[in-house]
Structure 1
Amino acid sequence: MEKLRNGLDKLILFICVTLFMFMTAVGTYQISVRYIFKDPSTISEELISYSFAWMSMFAASYVFGKRDHMRMVFFVEKFSEKTQVYISILCEVVILLFAFGVLVCGGKAITELTMTQISPALRVSMGYVYSVLPTCGIITSIYSILNIRDLLVKLKEEV
């Protein structure tokens, strides 16, 4: 299971770094053609926006996988260690249900719905842009299952 987590981590980090480098290059191009050549690019704005959306979704999945997302621990820390693990498992189950229900199922529906819609500047199907939702929903679900497994192992060790 650690191989799966490490492989997924490396893949997502590669995607995020690549998208960030791409956005930097396109942003530099956009600024250059606007101010130096006085001929603004029509597609660069859309490219940066869609790349940022994809990078944000992949980064959010990565953060959930690492369990580094923002959380308020002042309430949970008042409980015993065992109860904290149970609460963490409950949180992971809620995340799993959200990721599968909203991101995977809802994302699949919106992707199918927007396949015929064409973006104004790039002239690509918006379904490809929205396909990041079910993709990252699956990744978040996998991470959530791995986190639940790790928490159950931790719970067994405490007993």
Structure 2
Amino acid sequence: MIKLKNILTKILEVICVIMFAFITIVGTYQIVTRYVFNAPSTVSEELLTYSFTWLALLAAALVFAKREHMRMGFLADKFSGNALRWIYIFSELLVILFAALIMIYGGTSITKLTMTQVTASLGIPMSMIYVIVPICGIFVILFGVINIYELLRAKEVKPLSAKKETVISNKSAVVQKAIVKGDK
């Protein structure tokens, strides 16, 4: 399971980097055509909008896989051990439920509804734009299941908010105490 997660995160990382580079190139092209040649490109505007949407959803799935997404840890940080493990599992289950209902069911519904519609400038079916929602929903569910598997197998579960920032602030507090003791 962990090997699958690593492979999928690497694939998503590569896709996100390529999409970001693509957005940068198209954005630069749009700026040059608008301000240098005074002939704005309508195709690039639409392409940027839809590419950014795809990038945002793919990056959200990637960040969820790495468990680096924003979270409010004020409740979870008060627990430790098995209680913390079950809070995180419950959180993962809620995200899986959201992904199943909104991203997969809702995304599939909107994709089906827009099969006959085409974009204004590019002329591609709108369903090609919306199909990313259920695709990312599948990624989120898969990563959620893997995260639960990892939580169940872990010997110890620590709060996710206990990151480098906490360690750095603790070190500076120790240094501060040492300076105070040295002055006396």
Q: Distance in 1 between matches of 2:57 and 2:23?
A: 15
Deviation at 1:76, TM superposition (A): 1.5
Runs of 4+ in 1 over 3 A off after TM superposition: none
Whether 1:48 aligns to 2:48 is yes
Offset, 1:112: 0.6
What stretches of structure 2 of length at least 5 have no aligned partner? 157-184
Report the secondary structure of 1:11's partner residue. helix
Aligned equivalents of 1:97, 1:36: Cα separation in 2: 49
**Whole-angstrom distance in 1 between the partners of 2:135 and 2:75:** 33
Once residues 115 and 92 of structure 2 are traced to their aligned partners in structure 1, the CA distance between those partners, rounded to angstroms, is 32
The equivalent of 1:98 in structure 2 is 98
Map of 1:80 onto structure 2: 80
| Equivalent-residue separation in structure 2 for 1:14 and 1:61 (angstroms) | 13
The residue that corresponds to 2:170 in the other structure is none
**Aligned residue in 1 for 2:182:** none
Identical residues among aligned pairs (%): 47
Once the two structures are superposed, residues 101-120 of structure 1 have per-residue CA deviations (whole angstroms, 9 ceiling, x without a partner) of 11011101100101111110
Residue 74 of structure 1, CA deviation: 2.0
Structure 1 residue aligned with 2:153: 153
2:34 is aligned with what amino acid?
R
Q: How does 1:28-39 map to 2 (within 5 A)?
A: 28-39=28-39
Q: How far apart are the structure 1 equivalents of 2:74 and 2:39? A: 54
2: CA distance, partners of 1:19 / 1:80: 39
The aligned residue for residue 130 of structure 2 is 130
TM-score of the pair, normalised by structure 1 = 0.95
Confirm whether residue 107 of structure 1 aligns to residue 107 of structure 2.
Answer: yes
The Cα shift of 1:80 comes to: 2.9
Deviations 1:112-145 (A, max 9, x none): 1011111101111000000000000000010000
- The residue type equivalent to 1:141 in the other structure is I
Separation in 1 of the partners of 2:43 and 2:26?
Answer: 10
State the distance in 2 between where 1:28 and 1:79 align.
48
* Residues in 1 aligned to 2:121 and 2:23: alpha-carbon distance in whole angstroms: 16
The answer for the alignment partner of 2:68 in structure 1 is: 68
Once residues 32 and 79 of structure 2 are traced to their aligned partners in structure 1, the CA distance between those partners, rounded to angstroms, is 56
